[in-house]
Chain A
Amino acid sequence: RKEVEQDPGPFNVPEGATVAFNCTYSNSASQSFFWYRQDCRKEPKLLMSVYSSGNEDGRFTAQLNRASQYISLLIRDSKLSDSATYLCVATGYSTLTFGKGTMLLVSP
């Protein structure tokens, strides 16, 4: 079983739509969680950390469910510029474990 699992997509949505991604992690000792965004042939960029209480940053909302070991990312009012791969990340002992990523394609 992969340590961090995500639906690879692609998710095709129109501009303005709301889209949600889920991810599960297997290491119950993981303490910190993140969502990274990666554009084609570019490096991953930190989108947001995920806190137990849930957190919001503009159109983006992240949630953590420790009991079920899953993390979610909600994007509201999708923009064309949101098209990218979204990587779910859980910490190992000192390092990050990445999922394979979920591809989002936002169309006009």
Chain B
Amino acid sequence: DTGVSQDPRHKITKRGQNVTFRCDPISEHNRLYWYRQTLGQGPEFLTYFQNEAQLEKSRLLSDRFSAERPKGSFSTLEIQRTEQGDSAMYLCASSFLSPPRAGVSSYEQYFGPGTRLTVT
């Protein structure tokens, strides 16, 4: 399977615990994105990487959230001291940096299956 993969698929944790999620992008893609989605909402942007550089962070990304992409391949998203409001689906996506061929936008992002976080 050459798509985006995420691990774990589901995580239940108690309030105050730390959690870490992993994303493996499509191997040819330079950019990697993290989104959060709650019920009835579209995905909301959290942060993105171009290779190993974290280029943008949303205001949604509080100090308790940190993301890394140390070698420009997989990425991790850590949430410290989880709160019930952190319960959501955490989606990872990847894309090319520049259009790979005519007719394909570099903005086309491909999503992984997500990690569903439940904080009790």
Give the B-binding residues of A (Cβ under 8 A): 4, 8, 31-32, 34, 41-46, 49, 87, 91-101
Contacts and interface: CB of A to CB of B under 8 A. Distances in A.
B91 A92 contact: no
B3 to A, nearest CB: 10
B110 interface: yes
A4 B111 CA distance: 20
Contact of B42 (A32, A94, A98): A98
- Chain A interface SS verdict (over half): loop
A87 B114 CA distance: 17
A44 B43 contact: yes
Contact of A45 (B42, B111, B116): B111
B111 A44 contact: yes
Interface stretch (B11-19, B67-75, B80-88, B101-109): B101-109
A2 to B, nearest CB: 10
Contacts of B109: 46, 96
B28 interface: no
B105 A49 contact: yes
Nearest to A91: B107
A50 to B, nearest CB: 10
Given A8-B40, A43-B111, A43-B114, 4 more contacts: A44-B91, A96-B45, A98-B43, A101-B42
B49 to A, nearest CB: 11
A53 to B, nearest CB: 12
30 contacts: A4-B42, A8-B40, A32-B105, A34-B107, A34-B108, A41-B116, A42-B113, A43-B91, A43-B113, A43-B114, A44-B43, A44-B91, A44-B111, A46-B108, A87-B42, A91-B107, A93-B56, A94-B55, A94-B56, A95-B45, A96-B43, A96-B45, A97-B45, A98-B42, A98-B44, A99-B42, A100-B40, A100-B41, A100-B42, A101-B42
